[in-house]
Amino acid sequence: MYKVALTCCALLLGLLLPVLASATELYRYVDNKGTTVLTRQGVPPEFIGKGYEVLNDQGRVVKVIPPAPSAEEMQRILADKERASSDVQLRRLYSTPEDVERAHERKLAELDGLIGVARGNLQSVRTQQANLQSQAADHERAGRAVPANLLAQIDSQKAEQARLKGDIARYQAARKEADSRFKADHDRLKELLERNR
């Protein structure tokens, strides 16, 4: 019986101590009118984002909760974090600016190769289409109807030309983007290495 009562007292005391400790804390914040408020009740939710101070029972500041960052500050913080992460990745990929230049040249050569192949294929398709149209013209000159399969082949060659032109435009855009990105990486790595000297 004595042990149960002692356990209950210890439990009750354990529950009350945080309440008693927090009862001695004071909260200082500024309200909407610019008035400094000192309270034991805690900071109302609408003022938490503006920051506040926690004081002990002697009136000394024991904790400062800074204001929440503005939307612009938050955007800058996120941009800084992203930049730092990007810098780490850049340092992992390349040791020197010359490494960036070599990767740059390889990427442009790869894209130039793809553009060259697509242009060669486009020229081949144009030649095939010209041959098919010549055959269609022969049928028309002879007063015969152009066979449906010949017309379908011509349409197919036109569609293939459109696809290849789209591929070429995509590769050219990728080349331009890669060129810009590698130049930016080169300059940034150079800046980072100079900063660490």
Query: Per-residue pLDDT tens for 70-86?
Result: 889 889 999 999 999 99
Instruction: Tell me the mean pLDDT in the region 56-67.
Output: 90
pLDDT band at 110 (very low <50, low <70, confident <90, very high): very high
Decide: pTM greater than 0.75: no
pLDDT tens digits for 112-145?
999 999 999 999 999 999 999 999 999 999 999 9
Residues linked to residue 61 through DSSP beta bridges, in sequence order: 55
> What is the percentage of the chain residues whose pLDDT exceeds 70?
88
pLDDT band at 15 (very low <50, low <70, confident <90, very high): very low
* Residue type, position 90, single letter: L
Asked whether the beta carbons of 37 and 28 are under 8 A apart, the reply is yes
51 closest CA partner among 73, 33, 36: 36
Instruction: Tell me the mean pLDDT in the region 10-39.
Output: 68
Instruction: Tell me the mean pLDDT in the region 94-122.
Output: 95
| Whether residue 111 has pLDDT greater than 60 | yes
The domain limits of the chain are 23-68, 75-195
Which residues, at least 6 apart from 186, have a Cβ–Cβ distance to it below 8 Å?
97, 100, 101, 104
pLDDT band at 4 (very low <50, low <70, confident <90, very high): very low
What distance in Å separates the CA atoms of residue 192 and residue 83, rounded to the nearest whole number?
12
What the block records as the tokens of 12 is 């009750």
| Whether residue 24 has pLDDT greater than 50 | yes
What distance in Å separates the CA atoms of residue 159 and residue 128, rounded to the nearest whole number?
13
pLDDT band at 59 (very low <50, low <70, confident <90, very high): confident
Angle at which helices 148-195 and 71-93 cross, to 10°:
90
Strongest mean pLDDT among 17-26, 27-36, 66-75, 169-178: 169-178
Residues linked to residue 113 through DSSP beta bridges, in sequence order: none
What distance in Å separates the CA atoms of residue 111 and residue 184, rounded to the nearest whole number?
19
Instruction: Tell me the mean pLDDT in the region 150-161.
Output: 94
